[in-house]
Amino acid sequence: MTQPQKFQEIAENLSFLDDWEDQFEYIIELGKALPKLSDAQRVPENKVSGCVAQVWLAVEQTPSDAGPVFHIKGESDAMIVQGLVAVLLALYSDRPASEIAATDAMAIFDEMGLREHLTTQRSNGLISMVNRIRAQAQAA
């Protein structure tokens, strides 16, 4: 399955950075570019459990011939996690639920080496974010 262009660009940019500290700086910059959620989106129903940092994922669905399309926005109070949210949104947002459910983000992230230098807590938080989005996609 072909990944979205924005995600492919992020993966390519990360592959050019040899040093993991440079990769994290890039991920942090991606997070800084994300728009902030509104107060209406930063509610308990959108908060992701299983993350040490506070993370909110707001999903809106629109109908399409391929089934519901997920439009996902997210935010975290931690810089690196905010960057991981940006990478996750580049992979999953604006795609049909069926594609989201079929996309194994963790395998893709492992292939990219994205989790290699994450702390266990951040890795578990990333897993929680992925599981939440995929569960919503599977239920759609």
**In contact, 126 and 80? CB cutoff 8 Å:** no
Backbone angles phi, psi at 133, to 5 degrees: -65, -45
List C-alpha distances in Å: 105 to 12, 36, 50, 60.
Answer: 16, 23, 17, 20
With 0-12 CB in 10 A as exposed, 13-18 as middle and 19+ as buried, what is 21?
exposed
Q: Would you please indicate which residues are annotated as catalytic (active-site) residues?
A: 51
